[in-house]
Amino acid sequence: MDAQPLAVGIIGCGNVGRILAEKQNTFRITAAYDCVPGCALDFSARFGAKPLTEFAELLAEPVEIVVEAASVSAVREYAIDVLRSGKDLIILSVGALADETFRIELLGEARRLNRKIHVPSGAIMGLDNIRIGQVSSVDTILLRTTKNPLSLGIGEPETKCVFSGTASECVQRYPKNTNVAVSLSLACGCDASVEVWSDPGETKNMHEIIFSGEFGEAYIRIRNNPSSGNGATSRLAALSALSILENLKNPLVIGA
């Protein structure tokens, strides 16, 4: 007999939510909340999830895990209540965890309630081994992100470094483009260095990771296709969340 599909709730019925719904297999999105009622209704009409226009309704739904696919502000507003309702959580807007006070409170609640918070690899690869920074010495952890200026919301006509600093500083300047930087820092256990480059000739979202330490040296380059509905978001980000959902009930755990 086939296992019962994992019941999933979602916060945010936009581009990422649609990708997850289109590819659901071992899970089912049964409840969908969006602060814009029309978005939840459209999502329901297309994918069959119960449309919710009040967040409290989502907390009452019999889902096992909730996917946040909305915004940094949505994480801050809803994440703790999701855990307190007895549900695990997948966070895509990882930039919210750059706020140390909020992060400590959120993780404290997760420990107290014995709940899990999953952070997908997002638009990069290799977070599983970047975690060795938590148990060994690190010399360099640098993220260099290059995007078309339109994706960055600027009008820079030439290739130019528009930011250089730490991940925690970058989230203040480019909150919609720093989930990768914060994920990298959380995985490594230290505040990663970040460069953001604007390149009018770049048609994809490119991330380069330079990592060195006790283990040796690594260089990773990813050139992502932007999501069709949102040029600032890489399709890989949605697919990495999809991978978590599809494997939650898999008894074989690889690289996590």
pLDDT at 53: 92
Tell me the C-alpha distance between 22 and 162, whole Å. Answer: 36
- As a CATH number, domain 6-118+236-247 is 3.40.50.720
Whether residue 207 lies in the annotated active site: yes
pLDDT at 150: 87
Q: What is the pTM of this model?
A: 0.93
Closest to 31 measured CA to CA, from 69, 4, 5, 57: 57
Instruction: Say which residues have a Cβ less than 8 Å from residue 154's Cβ, sequence separation at least 6.
Output: 162, 198
pLDDT at 1: 38
pLDDT in tens, the chain (256 residues): 357 899 999 999 999 999 999 999 999 999 999 999 999 999 999 999 999 999 999 999 999 999 999 999 999 999 999 999 999 999 999 999 999 999 999 999 999 999 999 999 999 998 999 999 999 999 999 999 999 998 888 888 999 999 999 998 888 887 777 889 999 999 999 999 999 999 999 999 899 999 999 999 999 999 998 777 665 678 899 999 999 999 999 999 888 6
Closest to 122 measured CA to CA, from 130, 114, 132: 130
pLDDT per residue over 104-122, tens digit each? 999 999 999 999 999 999 9
Q: Are the C-beta atoms of 82 and 171 separated by less than 8 Å?
A: no
Do the annotations mark residue 123 as ligand-binding? yes
Q: Which of 207, 235, 236, 242 is catalytic?
A: 207
- As a CATH number, domain 127-224 is 3.30.360.10
Backbone phi, then psi, for 137, in 5-degree steps? -75, 145
pLDDT at 229: 67
Question: What is the average pLDDT score of the chain?
Answer: 93
Domain residue extents for the chain: 6-118+236-247, 127-224
Tell me the C-alpha distance between 188 and 28, whole Å. Answer: 32
Do the annotations mark residue 250 as ligand-binding? no
